[in-house]
Structure 1
Amino acid sequence: MRMRRHHQQDEDTGIDLTPMLDVVFIMLIFFIVTSSFIKESGVEVQRPQAQTASPQDKGNILIAITADGQVWMDKKVVDVRSVRAHVERMRVDQPDGAVVVQADQDVRTGLVVQVMDQARLAGVQDVALAATSGAL
């Protein structure tokens, strides 16, 4: 009497997913490193219109001033006297970034000048006012 032996396959016939996972993680790291994050001031203001308005293409530090005189930076209300310290802190991340002041069209001019002065005292030479392009 002969005994039959069943040969079990020792190999796993499944698909090895390790190379695919490696590629996915490398692509994820690539997209995280190359993506640029848009910083917002935290509040929407009604900007004045100007015929000579031009878009800014480099990374910016945004400061918004509402019609009622609130100064917004990094999605929170700040005091005018602390704008300098906030700009200095944000310049660590963007050393060559410009400051863009997004002032509401109904805000007091004196407050806008104070904010721009604080940004200049923080060492930023390129301070711009945001406007909507269009006819006056």
Structure 2
Amino acid sequence: MPQTATITRSPDWPLQVKAPGTHDWERTATRWLRDLLPARYGGYLTLNRHPAILARHVQLQLQHEIRAVRVALQTSRAELPMLGVAESVIENAIRMYAVELEQLSRLARGVRLVTDALQVNAAAQRRR
């Protein structure tokens, strides 16, 4: 089975991105990746014109977000009471952080798959 077929059958392949090799798939991949970044990055031509740089930056951004959510999750019980936050609110915050951590982890897996497919596509284009 070709690598791209295996990648797109993964449950982590983003629904917003067409399968590699189909019409316009790279455009849908770059749009999806761009949407994962804060809006202020939309004006950087380097990110918009170079999918490899965009994908790398998204991976880094997600790594930092995951790290921040982990810290928030790990420190909630110790730090939030000192801020006057009620126990029930702290429990809700902990659940929220746990859900967010899972969502970010799933996004990171999808970004890795899309990045791999973009690299395969770029290598195939260089061989032509």
- How high is the TM-score relative to the length of structure 1? 0.27
Of Structure 1 and Structure 2, the greater helix share is in: 2
Of Structure 1 and Structure 2, the greater strand share is in: 1
| Greater Rg by CA | 1
